[in-house]
């Protein structure tokens, strides 16, 4: 294409000059030939205008010789770049008829054909043109191989990204996505040690949420602090001395939040995110009790220095015994206090009991006054099964920082989760193998998370009815046609892959059977899949927890999500996925609720056990009615959750 258009352009230009009788034939043929050769290969550097554009391009926007022009289109610019040789500028065809040459050639007073010598000259010129064009085309079609390589490379780079594909995996092979999630993740990790960290983006749809630059800078600052204060650093050892001595000896360089592994996996992920945000807000370092399985499930989230609490941490053996009655419990200390705050001695550590059964004294943790006191304590040991972030938004001293970190308030868990929770390679294998086998090829992926808190073994008919009522009513799944056997031509229908998760296999079997036995009214093909059915919740069993984490994560990779009320398992999926789910209402009296479900206000998890206390007025208050961004949850009337101002309430 390049050689052909060069030829055409040159020919056009020469013909135009001849036919408009603008060629002055001087004394001899050789002179004419010299001029034409000069015309075709003139060696002058084109002028650059103040904007860095070349001037003198002969084929200006209206076919005019523009004095100061812009490239008419980018393809031409590419052609020029492709032809880069050491003489590139000199050989630049764009600069051919520079103003200089042009002036010499033009003589408007002389007319073609008025003299036989001139006619002869023109014939010779034509012959010359033909021969020169031949040579030029040979030269251009015989470009050096690396020029051709450059040309093909340019074409590859110009390939438009594929539009409209929902398939994150196949799309990723063509469109490089932002593996650092808009700067949320640090770049310095070894990719192979935790493949999910940088690969997860390939499996997800691009979400519109972007982390604030302030959040990004705070995370980088946190990482630096963690590196300075993490396990076995000089600062860590120094602060540990205070703990061992049992006496507070003054402010320390590094202060810590120690998260104790406690409760089901969904709760642990939510409480870990809460503890990390609390650490970020209070300039503390988060250290994680690995429990029996955390290291098997989650990669290290901070570069260089581990987030795991060393096994020789002095209080480690007491974690299991810590409760509301422990003398180290902050709520207990407050209960026993008879003197004013200012006279209280600062201990080197306190135990914070923020478990769902906590009492009013424990809940004073959410008051500014107590936060001021806790600020000085080097070691805070936290046991919690809650997503307590909504109540952090009601503490005045955190307000400003939180709104800078999260200008969009319903993205807190989404960003904390995407930053912290990367499945280990073992779990990533389970996730990706399942995704690629059953979900990747579908036109749409629907997640249905079933969690039944009723006693007795399911499956229950009222729950099955509820699932179908919700998904069909909300147009998430098509209805079936019980009258016909076949609908629509085969092979052309849209496909939906439904990922069901439940401890029981009963719901999955019934729904799968239904879509096998009958066609859908829309002709859509519906595949139903469930990775496991573990029957009951198990603790401390490695594969059980890996499967639970795999399923939460797979649910987060779907396009549309249905979750169960009260389930932290579902909250994790919706938050990681950036999905506003349809929530199945909690059935009462073994009856299908009507309506069966509703759309969530936001993708944020619900804080199941918030305090209802006005710390200043020292009276009870509805904490779900104080600010527009902290509301009562859809699935738990007393719970609190974050919503964005503009979300429908
Ligand atoms: N694999 C799997 N495990 C489940 C499922 N539902 C509950 N579990 C197990 O039961 C535990 C329940 O605790 P949690 O994660 O807090 O979920 P929640 O009870 O729904 O809030 C999970 O951690 C799993 O161990 C499920 O659908 N799939
Ligand atoms: Mg739970």
- CATH number of residue 551's parent domain: 3.40.50
Atom in ligand 1 nearest the alpha carbon of residue 453: 19
Q: Report how far apart the first and last C-alpha atoms of the chain are (Å, whole number).
A: 60
Least confident among 138-152, 193-207, 263-277, 524-538: 138-152
HSE-up of 536 (CA within 13 Å, CB side)?
A: 6
Least confident among 119-123, 351-355, 528-532: 119-123
Residue 107: pLDDT over 70: no
State whether 313 and 408 are in the same domain.
Answer: yes
> What is the model's pLDDT at position 210?
94
Cα pseudo-dihedral 595, 599, 601, 606, rounded to 10 = 80
Least confident among 5-14, 45-54, 562-571: 45-54
In SS3 terms, 297-355 reads as HECCCCCCCCCECCCCCCCHHHCCCCCCCCCCEHHHHHHHCCCCHHHCCCCCEEEEEEC
State whether 406 and 461 are in the same domain.
Answer: no
Least confident among 92-96, 257-261, 269-273, 419-423: 92-96
Determine, yes or no, domain membership for 628.
no
Tokens encoding 292: 């029996």
> What is the model's pLDDT at position 338?
60
State whether 366 and 455 are in the same domain.
Answer: no
Contact 566, 536 (CB under 8 A): no
Beta bridge partners of 525: 495
CB atoms within 10 A of CB 286: 24
Query: 455: pLDDT confidence band, cut at 50, 70 and 90?
Result: confident
- Residue ending a domain, choose from 373, 397, 420: 420
Query: 466: pLDDT confidence band, cut at 50, 70 and 90?
Result: very high
Determine, yes or no, domain membership for 9.
yes
State whether 345 and 218 are in the same domain.
Answer: yes
Most confident of 28-37, 143-152, 396-405: 396-405
Q: Residue 503 Cα, ligand 1 centroid: separation in angstroms?
A: 7
> What is the model's pLDDT at position 122?
52
| Residue 469: burial class (beta carbons within 10 Å; 0-12, 13-18, 19+) | middle
State whether 393 and 471 are in the same domain.
Answer: no
- Residue ending a domain, choose from 124, 140, 155: 155
Q: Residue 11 Cα, ligand 2 centroid: separation in angstroms?
A: 78
Residue 130: pLDDT over 80: no
Q: What is the number of domains present in the chain?
A: 3
Determine, yes or no, domain membership for 445.
yes
State whether 394 and 451 are in the same domain.
Answer: no
Determine, yes or no, domain membership for 171.
no
- Residue ending a domain, choose from 132, 155, 178: 155
Query: E strands, 149-276, where?
Result: 256-259
> What is the model's pLDDT at position 357?
95
State whether 510 and 459 are in the same domain.
Answer: yes
- The residue segments making up the domain with residue 110 are 2-155
State whether 515 and 596 are in the same domain.
Answer: yes
State whether 58 and 147 are in the same domain.
Answer: yes
Determine, yes or no, domain membership for 634.
no
More confident residue, 339 or 561: 561
State whether 416 and 450 are in the same domain.
Answer: no
pLDDT tens per residue, range 16-58: 433 333 333 333 333 433 343 233 322 332 332 222 223 222 2
Helices within 346-496 (DSSP H only): 360-363, 368-374, 389-392, 396-405, 412-420, 425-434, 461-473
> What is the model's pLDDT at position 438?
98
Of 556, 458, 543, give the one whose Cα is nearest residue 509: 458
State whether 456 and 412 are in the same domain.
Answer: no
Query: 141: pLDDT confidence band, cut at 50, 70 and 90?
Result: very low
More confident residue, 539 or 162: 539
Q: Residue 122 Cα, ligand 1 centroid: separation in angstroms?
A: 90
In SS3 terms, 39-106 reads as HHHCCCCCCECCCCCEECCCCCCCCCCCCECCCCCHHHHHHHHHCCCCCHHHHCHHHCCCHHHHHHHC
Q: Residue 130 Cα, ligand 2 centroid: separation in angstroms?
A: 83
Determine, yes or no, domain membership for 607.
no
Residues with CB under 6 A from ligand 1: 264-267, 451, 501-503, 532, 534, 537, 544, 547-548, 551, 567-569
More confident residue, 103 or 379: 379
Determine, yes or no, domain membership for 188.
no
Q: What is the mean pLDDT of residues 103-109?
A: 29
What whole-number distance in Å separates Cα of residue 322 and Cα of residue 114? 113
- Closest-lying ligand to the alpha carbon of 450? 1
Atom 13 in ligand 1: residue holding the nearest Cα? 264
Most confident of 135-149, 158-172, 370-384: 370-384
State whether 405 and 532 are in the same domain.
Answer: no
Query: 646: pLDDT confidence band, cut at 50, 70 and 90?
Result: low
- In angstroms, how far apart are the furthest CA atoms of the chain? 123
Q: What is the pTM of this model?
A: 0.75
Beta bridge partners of 343: none
Average pLDDT of the chain is: 78
């Amino acid at each position: 294409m390049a050689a052909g258009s060069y030829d055409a352009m040159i020919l056009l230009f020469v013909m135009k000059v001849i036919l408009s009788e603008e060629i002055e034939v001087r004394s001899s043929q050789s002179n004419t030939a010299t001029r034409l050769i000069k015309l075709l290969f003139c060696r002058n550097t084109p002028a650059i205008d103040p904007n860095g554009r070349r001037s003198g391009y002969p084929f200006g926007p209206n076919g005019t010789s523009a004095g100061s022009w812009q490239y008419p289109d980018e393809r031409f610019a590419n052609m020029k770049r492709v032809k880069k040789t050491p003489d590139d500028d000199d050989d630049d065809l764009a600069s051919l008829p520079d103003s200089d040459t042009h002036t010499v050639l033009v003589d408007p007073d002389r007319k073609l054909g008025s003299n036989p010598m001139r006619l002869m000259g023109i014939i010779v010129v034509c012959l010359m043109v033909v021969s020169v064009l031949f040579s030029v085309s040979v030269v251009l079609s015989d470009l050096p191989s690396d020029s051709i390589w450059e040309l093909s490379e340019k074409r590859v780079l110009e390939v438009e990204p594929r539009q409209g594909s929902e398939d994150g995996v196949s799309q990723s092979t063509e469109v490089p996505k932002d593996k650092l999630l808009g700067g949320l993740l640090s770049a310095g990790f070894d990719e192979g040690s935790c493949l999910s960290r940088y690969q997860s983006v390939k499996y997800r749809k691009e979400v519109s949420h972007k982390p604030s630059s302030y959040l990004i800078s705070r995370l980088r600052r946190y990482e630096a602090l963690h590196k300075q204060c993490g396990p076995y650093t000089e600062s860590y050892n120094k602060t540990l001395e205070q703990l061992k001595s049992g006496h507070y000896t003054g402010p320390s360089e590094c202060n810590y939040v120690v998260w104790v592994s406690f409760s089901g996996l969904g709760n642990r992920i939510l409480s870990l995110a809460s503890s990390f945000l609390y650490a970020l807000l209070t300039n503390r370092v988060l250290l994680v009790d690995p429990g029996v399985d955390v290291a098997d499930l989650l990669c290290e989230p901070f570069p260089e220095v581990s987030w795991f609490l060393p096994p020789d941490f002095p209080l480690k053996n007491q974690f299991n015994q810590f409760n509301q009655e422990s003398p180290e419990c902050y709520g207990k200390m407050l209960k026993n206090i008879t003197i004013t705050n200012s006279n209280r001695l600062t201990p080197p550590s306190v135990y914070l009991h923020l478990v769902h059964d906590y009492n009013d004294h424990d809940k004073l943790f959410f008051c500014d006054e107590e936060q001021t006191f806790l600020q000085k304590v080097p070691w805070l040991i936290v046991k919690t099964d809650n997503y307590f972030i909504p109540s952090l938004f009601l503490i005045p001293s955190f307000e400003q920082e939180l709104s800078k970190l999260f200008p969009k308030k319903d993205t807190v868990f989404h960003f904390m989760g995407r930053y912290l929770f990367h499945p280990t390679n073992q779990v990533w294998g389970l996730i990706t193998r399942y995704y690629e086998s059953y979900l990747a090829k579908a036109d749409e992926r629907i997640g249905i998370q079933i969690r039944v808190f009723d006693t007795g073994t399911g499956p229950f008919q009222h729950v099955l009815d509820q699932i179908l009522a919700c998904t069909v009513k909300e147009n998430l799944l098509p209805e079936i046609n019980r009258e016909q056997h076949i609908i629509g031509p085969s092979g052309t229908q849209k496909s939906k892959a439904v990922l069901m998760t439940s401890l029981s296999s009963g719901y999955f079997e019934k729904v799968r059977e239904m879509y096998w036995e009958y066609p859908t009214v829309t002709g859509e093909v519906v595949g139903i899949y469930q990775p496991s059915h573990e029957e009951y919740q198990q603790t401390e069993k490695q594969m059980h927890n890996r499967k639970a984490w795999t399923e939460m994560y797979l649910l987060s990779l779907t396009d549309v999500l249905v979750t169960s009320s009260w389930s932290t398992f579902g909250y994790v999926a919706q938050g990681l996925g950036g999905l506003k789910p349809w929530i199945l209402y909690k059935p009462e009296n073994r009856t299908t609720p009507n309506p069966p479900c509703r759309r969530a206000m936001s993708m944020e998890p619900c804080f199941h056990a918030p305090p209802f206390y006005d710390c200043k007025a020292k009276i009870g208050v509805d904490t779900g009615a104080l600010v527009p961004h902290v509301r009562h949850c859809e699935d738990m009337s007393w719970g609190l959750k974050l919503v964005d101002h503009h979300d429908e309430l």
